[in-house]
Amino acid sequence: MRYIEIGIGMAVAILIFLAIQGIDLLPVLFFAGLMAAFFYGNIKRTGNKSFATVSKGAADEKLVSFDDIGGQDMAKGELCEALEFIKDVEGIKTLGIRPLKGILLNGPPGTGKTLLAKAAAQFTRSAFLAASGSEFVEMYVGVGAQRVRQLFKQARDMAKRNHKTSAVIFIDEIEVLGGKRGQNAGHMEYDQTLNELLVQMDGISENDAIRVLVIGATNRIDILDPALLRPGRFDRQVKVDLPDKKGRMKILQLHTRNKPLANDVSLADVANDTFGFSGAHLESVANEAAILAFRESSGTITAQHLRSAVEKVIMGEKLDRIPSSQEKNRIAVHETGHALLSEYTLPGSVASVNVVPRGNALGYVRQTQQDDMYLYTVDYINSKIAVAIAGAIAEEMFLGARSTGASNDFKQATDLAKQIVFGGMSELGIVSPEDVPKELLHNTITGIIKQIECQVRTVLTNHQTAFTLTVDTLLAKEFISGAEFRVLLNGDEQAA
């Protein structure tokens, strides 16, 4: 305040001197007013007011522990090991271990990165602050750097007030703040903000009264600046991936523990049907199932509620769009083609067949698989191509012509064929994607798809009776389950 008073006094003295000299003060006062407004707004926007989210404890919110997070056992194990360095201070000094300064959580959206950071703060009994990378950068130069300094100071001050010896700073979407320098030629604010974060992380010392751990989260690790990723800043990179079948089962148990489930509900079946779902998707499935039960005034959540919820999360809500009878017949033929080839190439893979419009689809086949797969053989990819093109071929065989509804199917088939080529599984052998001539690539992809197309025609021809029966059932019911479809396909109820 003393410096402000001195500055104001000097400004008044200069104005009086200029007035005595006969100089017009109106332009000077106008310019001084603009400068005062700018600095006042900047100080007010970036001053002592906190922009980070503070975890206040059980009185204000439910504390998150690692037991509340399912499907991320490996990520939790790596994170807990790193956090032990904060808890066991004397032990790490005995072995001469340098405490980790930063942990980077990398994975798809909805996999629980924020929950892991909150659980880390609870595990270490630390003060917890959360901020998003987008909150640091504005058009005003220096604002982001000031906010970084403010964040670290706030973390230490909050830990002192709460009589804690450590603090956890969580920065979500850190790629906004930590992108590679030099990418924004016309604006140095991004680079200055990242430089300040690097300096602050370098300033973390094992001898500090308050030990600070920075946890960052991103799904774009490829665009982060190398200086941020080096040891001594983000020492650990923890992969937070989509959960496997066992993990999905655990997540579903967590999200249904406060919900009344009917006796016919099998969470193992739901976990099996939700391959590729994140934790956020599974939470939405449990919530949507409860909403459906509430709509129907049901006291419990049934297996049908959960199946409908899975389809709603995948495809969206049912639409009021009502196709004509001719279009509906074409949709039924198209989807039956997909379903028949799916069941033929991978028995038990069809979960349901629908001709009810949802989202952007007029109809769809929901597929599932018994086991999670991470490596694909050429036979498996060929089977996926067969399923993709079966709808269009069924239209051509049974209705005389194809329609525009197969455009996405063809794109999927082409992408799968490219996987075969670039995976070294085609007649070209091992090739480089950059060196393959476009004409040669086109001819190879066309050859792969044409060969599979002949196989699809043979399968559809050999199952015409079951095909026609499935189409008629779909037109009557609009929906059949996988078990019902297998009965129609095999003509024997024992096949289910």
Question: Among residues 176, 189, 179, 146, which one has the least CA distance to residue 45?
Answer: 146
Q: What letter represents residue 64's amino acid?
A: V
Is 206 a known active-site residue?
no
Instruction: Single out the catalytic residue among 175, 196, 288, 335.
Output: 335
Show Cβ contacts of residue 190 under 8 Å, excluding neighbours closer than 6 positions.
137, 144, 177, 179, 181, 183, 184
Residues with a known catalytic role: 335
